[in-house]
Amino acid sequence: MIILGIDPGIARMGYGIVEEIKQKARAVAYGCFETGKNMAHAKRLAAVHKELARLIKLHKPERVAVEKLFFSKNVKTALQVGEARGVIMLTCAELNVPVFEISPKEVKQALTGYGDADKQQMQKMIQLILGLKTIPKPDDAADALAIALAGARM
């Protein structure tokens, strides 16, 4: 099974693609795509749609796992992430890929067995589970791989 994990954002969106066969996971691809802060907001959302559609068509995931929006003190950021999540949902619906939403606490629980694990614990678990030589960078890509791994267990 191929799972695409997404750490949503408008300025930077992390993605991680994991293949799991017989409960053994491997990283297929991961990284981030970014939109310029000088771009019009609608153009940024369109860029998220275009890049996500490209990833889905290229890797053909059987499901997409996307992080649920968590409480944010910055209302503007929360609204923009919410809009990006809407674009993600729409893109997946258009391409007939099931979407699973997962909270940060559920991701931590799935990978470490502890819903309040810190970032370093999570990154180390991602490295160990996927057999990577180093911890994935940037953090958004590592988070997306964690979301994909958690999505594989849903």
Active site residues: 7, 67, 140
| CB atoms closer than 10 angstroms to residue 145 | 31
How far is Cα 80 from Cα 86, in angstroms, rounded to an integer? 10
Sign of the CA dihedral 35, 3, 21, 122?
positive
Task: Assess contact for 144 and 6: CB atoms under 8 A.
Answer: yes
Torsion angles phi and psi, residue 144, rounded to 5: -65, -40
